[in-house]
């Protein structure tokens, strides 16, 4: 099965879902808490219209997405949006972090559906991954959990996001 995986429902990540699905026959996958954002997009600051799309696959916590031999485990990591997810390679020490974790930071929490408390919990959870885990974020350069661990540990110990 061909699949378009949406790590969350913001326009800059799902704006072409309908076109890609139409052109390739790929089903669209998203966490149920962000489904509404795909079915009824209300893009903030998008430079183009975002057509609605209908997700056919739910990305549930602990679920698995397969691409040939590649197996990705779904980690529900709310905070940026209620349905934000990361995809962790089961075998390869790799994390596709969407807009949850960036090199040196995290996704915005000041947009509708964002939550500081949920982002803290999600970042603490990611801080527990193996240090060698390579992180491929939705924006910016790649990083590793080990490289991000110092500030992630500050989030864990303080229970809040750095100012």
For the chain, 163 residues long, give each residue's pLDDT as a single digit of tens.
899 999 999 999 999 999 999 999 999 999 999 999 999 998 778 888 899 999 999 999 999 999 888 999 999 999 999 999 999 998 889 999 999 999 999 999 999 999 999 999 999 999 999 999 999 999 999 999 999 999 999 999 999 999 8
Q: Which pLDDT score is estimated for 67?
A: 87
Contact 162, 154 (CB under 8 A): yes
Rg (CA), the chain: 15
Q: Which residues pair with 144 in a beta bridge?
A: 134
Q: Which residues pair with 58 in a beta bridge?
A: 30
* pTM score, whole prediction: 0.95
| Assigned token pair, 118 | 């949920």
Alpha carbons 26 and 92: distance in angstroms, whole number: 24
Q: Which pLDDT score is estimated for 44?
A: 77
Contact 39, 63 (CB under 8 A): no
Fold assignment, 3-158: Metallo-beta-lactamase; Chain A (3.60.15)
Query: How buried is residue 115: exposed, middle or buried, by Cβ count under 10 Å (0-12/13-18/19+)?
Result: middle
Q: Can you tell me which residue has the tokens 């990705």? A: 72
Q: Which pLDDT score is estimated for 129?
A: 97
Q: Which pLDDT score is estimated for 88?
A: 98
């Amino acid at each position: 099965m061909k699949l378009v995986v949406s790590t969350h429902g913001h326009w800059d990540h799902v704006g072409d879902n309908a076109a890609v699905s139409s052109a390739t026959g790929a089903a669209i996958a998203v966490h149920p808490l962000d489904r509404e954002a795909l079915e009824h997009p209300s893009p903030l600051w998008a430079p183009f219209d975002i057509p609605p799309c209908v997700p056919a696959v739910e990305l549930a916590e602990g679920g698995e997405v397969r691409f040939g031999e590649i197996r990705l485990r779904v980690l529900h990591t709310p905070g940026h949006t209620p349905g934000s997810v990361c995809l962790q390679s089961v075998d390869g020490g790799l994390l596709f972090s969407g807009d949850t974790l960036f090199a040196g930071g995290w996704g915005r929490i000041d947009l509708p559906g964002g939550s500081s408390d949920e982002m803290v919990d999600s970042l603490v959870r990611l801080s527990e991954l193996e240090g060698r885990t390579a992180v491929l974020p939705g924006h910016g350069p790649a990083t590793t959990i080990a490289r991000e661990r110092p500030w992630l540990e500050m989030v864990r110990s303080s229970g809040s996001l750095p100012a």
